[in-house]
Amino acid sequence: MSVQTPVVTGWRCAVCRERVAISEIFSWRCPNSSDTDRHHVLEIENLIAPLRTNGDANPFVGFQRYLAWDAFAATLGFDFESRTKIIRDLDDAVAKVAGTGFLTTPFLRNDALSDALGFDQQGGVWVKDETHNVAGSQKARHLFTQLLHLVAVEQAGRAPWRDRSERPQLAIASCGNAAIASSTLARAVNWPIQVFVPEHTDEATIKILNSLDANIVRCARVVSDPPGDPCVFRFREAIVSGAIPFGVQGPENAWCLDGGRTIGWEMAVVAEDLPGALFSRMFVQAGGGAFVTCATNGFFAGATKPKIHAVQTEGCAPLARAFEIAQKTGGARNAGARWSQCMWPWETTPVSLADGILDDETYDWVGACNAMADSGGCPVVASEGQVRESYDLAHRVTNVDVSPTGAAGLAGLLAMRQEIADDERVIVILSGVRRQ
């Protein structure tokens, strides 16, 4: 198989098993998903292929053939070189707004953190630092393949609008990092975007969104709404009115599960070249669940499979609850058919210093549970004290200017530290720069 041959063959719903061709335009959701039933999510189907990078610093070029987008764009008639050019041109446009394009981010043993947590030289904490990525977190990775999809459809002359002036608005529901990432990408191509944010979103985030010309909609909790996130409800109303879903929840737009895998691929190629023991565990913060799903799916494409620990806070832990119920009712693997039985909105108002992972529901819980079940891992519910300790520790010893949300994976490690041997190699992803 040549390096120019795409690897992805199509989509399949994790719940109803419906298949969707990779050539399908605007294949955001399972065909059986509806406005009253979002309990469906499309998964990527791949050929078996060894994970290799061509060495390009841009991960979307370096791992291009593994992207679902690359296979999709090929069906539109773009050859490999033309597909690469679309990536580079769009990346250049993003860099003009964000100050940086997409680059492979650091993944190294953090000696100071390893020492602080009592690991020996054979073990330690390896940190993947996403704070210098586009818009300051990993969120833009999820969104970039969605934007590539839209741009490729336009360039192929297949868009239902006549010109750019008739583009429908993009829409996203987010409390912070994803809102900033989506608005950054939208601004890069002058695409209008509605951003549905919580009523009490911090002013630093609002200021950034205003600078990016986002149409900000503050969403209060309304008594007449069903249980769940009011931002998601208002977002879904916008989609019904014709907006394009442009967020990081797989059930709303499965293409977010494509580009997010680049973070896992980057770590996997480093892991394969390391001498000695393999990684034993990976700690990933879990709000909506796409981050866990993508980072682990990407990493699992390599030769190693550490135990995956999705980290939530005691103030909002619907994924941990769903995992426990799934294990008791048929297993945590492929539990999508038991969605209503396992996953529902958190009953109390979510509260934590790590406010970026307070999603009422873990929308991509099926993929997150699969990753933990496949690896022998489990969820971790960190106490609020551990959330605060991880934020303080990250700033004291790592020199990464990470937010409390971005350090939440480290809180999971703190919660489990007594169960982890000193010679184990563990992974923590710091994602989400502190905003002041």
Asked if residue 206 is part of any domain, the answer here is: yes
Asked if residue 187 belongs to a domain, the reply is yes
- pLDDT tens, per residue, the chain with 436 residues: 345 789 999 999 999 999 999 999 999 999 999 998 999 999 999 998 899 999 999 999 999 999 999 999 999 999 999 999 999 999 999 999 999 999 999 999 999 999 999 999 999 999 999 999 999 999 999 999 999 999 999 999 999 998 999 999 999 999 789 999 999 999 999 999 999 999 988 899 999 999 999 999 999 988 888 999 999 999 999 999 999 999 999 999 999 999 999 999 999 999 998 887 689 999 999 999 999 999 999 999 987 899 999 999 999 999 999 999 999 999 999 999 999 999 999 999 899 999 999 999 999 999 999 999 999 999 999 999 999 999 999 999 998 999 999 999 999 999 999 999 999 999 999 999 998 7
Determine, yes or no, domain membership for 156: yes
Q: What is the residue-wise DSSP string for 224-268?
A: TSPSS-HHHHHHHHHHHTTPEE-SS-TTT-TTHHHHTTHHHHHHH
Query: Do 277 and 190 belong together in one domain?
Result: no
E strand spans, 144-202: 170-173, 193-198
Is residue 410 a part of any domain in this protein? yes
- Based on the domain organization, do 75 and 183 belong to the same domain? yes
Q: Do 412 and 357 belong to one domain?
A: yes
Specify if 13 maps to a domain.
yes
CATH of the domain at 344: 3.40.50.1100
Same domain, 51 and 184: yes
Query: What was the pLDDT predicted at 2?
Result: 45
What per-residue confidence (pLDDT) applies to 273? Answer: 87
- Which pLDDT value is given to residue 372? 98
Task: State residue 114's pLDDT score.
Answer: 98
Residue 177 lies inside a defined structural domain of this protein: yes
Residues 342, 383: one domain?
yes
Helices 203-211 and 177-188, packing angle to 10 deg: 10
Residue 180 lies in a domain: yes
Looking at 204, 226, 257, the residue that finishes a domain is: 257
Q: How many alpha carbons fall within 13 Å on the CB side of residue 88? A: 10
Q: Are residues 29 and 169 in the same domain?
A: yes
Domain boundary among 239, 257, 275: 257
Handedness of CA 357, 360, 362, 363 (dihedral sign): negative
C-alpha 17/C-alpha 2 separation (Å) is 30
Could you tell me the CA-to-CA distances from 244 to 29, 42, 92, 174, 357 in Å, in that order? 12, 17, 23, 15, 23
Co-location of 301 and 175 in the same domain: no
Q: What total number of domains does the chain contain? A: 2
Closest CA to 286 of 235, 340, 354, 237: 354
Q: pTM score, two decimals?
A: 0.96
pLDDT number for residue 3: 52
| pLDDT at residue 5, as a whole number | 85
Kindly state whether residues 290 and 413 are assigned to the same domain.
Answer: yes
pLDDT for 189-236, tens place per residue?
Answer: 999 999 999 998 889 999 999 999 999 999 998 888 899 999 999 999
Check whether residue 221 and residue 287 sit in a common domain: no
Which residue, 235, 257, 279, sits at the end of a domain? 257
**Residue 382, domain member (yes or no):** yes
- 251 and 344 assigned to the same domain: no
Q: Do 233 and 361 fall within a single domain?
A: no
pLDDT at 1: 38
402, β-bridge pairs? 433
* Residue 211 lies in domain: 8-98+139-257
Do 394 and 245 lie in one domain? The reply is: no
DSSP string, 9-73: EEEEETTT--EEETT-TT--S-TT-BTTB----EEEEE----------SSHHHHTGGG-HHHHHH
